[in-house]
Amino acid sequence: MYASRRILWAVLVVGAMLSLIAPAGARAQSADSSSQQAPDRPLLLYNTHTGERLDIFFRRGDQYIPDALAKLDYFLRDHRTGEVRHFDPRLYDILADLTASIGHPGAEIDIVCGYRTPSTNESLRAHTTGVAKNSLHIQAEAIDLRIPGVDTLQLRKAALALRRGGVGYYPHSDFIHVDTGRVRQWCFDCPASLISGD
């Protein structure tokens, strides 16, 4: 009877040890597979106003890289005033996914507009059309862009398919707008067929 208790005790101890080891192994395996599912994310950008280029990894796996985000914030500064604001990093995921969705992962993106101070936004509203009073550019949650060699209508369709925020289309200025606001779309000075997203 004493031997049976010792065997039962040994089985319970081994079972308890295995139950502790297995979840740790599963967590490690899960972490390995998630890091494989989330590769490093690069961006190649050209600022059409300053002439600067930036080739940068903004995310490693699931983690944004703080130093890279700071460089991107500076790169996307209001070029009229030099003021910098911290951008919503989800915009960078949208840009990277947009280049991949059109079959050009890592393509250089021309930045037409990043951050705008409220005064810059008001000045643009006074002198041009198509500038929103409460633009998400003021919140550093929007970017206007084009990709050299890619038709902006095709780019617009790809951005709409992502369904990750607002998408504006400015065919006469040859750029699209993407933001991290609610999912919506607009087309500035477009034929009726394009206003609905066709």
Could you give the percent of the chain with pLDDT greater than 90? 66
Could you give the percent of the chain with pLDDT greater than 70? 76
Range of the domain at 28: 1-37
Residues 113 and 47 in one domain: yes
Burial class (CB in 10 A: 0-12, 13-18, 19+), 86: exposed
Residues 129 and 184 in one domain: yes
pLDDT for residue 12: 45
Residues 27 and 69 in one domain: no
pLDDT for residue 25: 45
Rounded-to-integer distance, Cα 32 and Cα 104, Å: 27
Residues 33 and 46 in one domain: no
The number of folded domains in the chain is: 2
Residues 102 and 189 in one domain: yes
pTM of this prediction?
Answer: 0.77
CATH at residue 63: 3.30.1380.10
Residues 109 and 22 in one domain: no
pLDDT tier at 3 (50, 70, 90 boundaries)?
Answer: low
Rounded-to-integer distance, Cα 174 and Cα 182, Å: 23
pLDDT for residue 123: 79
